[in-house]
Amino acid sequence: MKISNYKGFLVINDYHEIIDYEVEYKVLNCFLEEGDMFLFNGGVIASCHNCNQFIRDRLVIEDNEWIDFFPPDEDCDLASKTAWYYAISKDEVIQALRYNGLFSCVVLKKGRNLSERSFELFHLEEDLGSSLYIRESTPGKFVNMVLPRIKEIISVN
C-alpha cells in the first residue's frame, strides 16, 4: 500500500488489500487516542425506524451537517438528517465494517460534538480496488501519530 495526497485528503491507496476484518480493525484503531471513539455514518434517514437494528441500538445523533468525500449533488435533500452511530468495542467496529464495507466515519472524543472530530475516514471504491481517504483536523497528526502505528500492522510506503 502507498500513501498519497488528493485534494486535501491523505490517501491509503489499495486499501482493498486488507481482506481481514481483524486487520482492518487494527488499522482503524491506530486513529484512536485515549477516550476516542468511531461514529459511523448510517446514512440519510427519514426516521430512526428506517435504520438497521444494529444502528438503531447505537444511534448517537442525527445531524444535518454534510460530512462526505463528495459534495452534495443538486438532488440531495440537505434538510434530511444523517444517522451517526457509535462503534467502540472491537466487535462493534467489525460489525459496522460488515454492515458497510465502503464506510464513512469520524473519530472524536466520547461525549464531544460531531464538529470536534479529529479525523474523517472514507473508504471509497475506485476503478482498480479501493482506497481510504483521510481528512485530519490537526495537520500532521496522521503522519506523526497514526502512520507509524499503521506501519507496525501493514506494509505502507
pLDDT in tens, 88-145: 899 999 999 988 888 889 999 998 888 899 999 999 998 889 999 999 999 999 999 9
Say which residue the cell 440519510 belongs to. Answer: 44
pLDDT for the residue 60: 74
Burial class (CB in 10 A: 0-12, 13-18, 19+), 14: middle
| pTM of structure | 0.86
Cα separation, 35 vs 33, in Å, equals 6
pLDDT for the residue 111: 87
Q: Is 70 a residue whose pLDDT tops 60? A: no
pLDDT in tens, 21-37: 999 999 999 999 999 99
Helix (H) or strand (E) holding 47: none
Q: Is 80 a residue whose pLDDT tops 80? A: no
pLDDT for the residue 62: 61
The three grid cell numbers given for residue 136, joined into one nine-digit string: 485530519
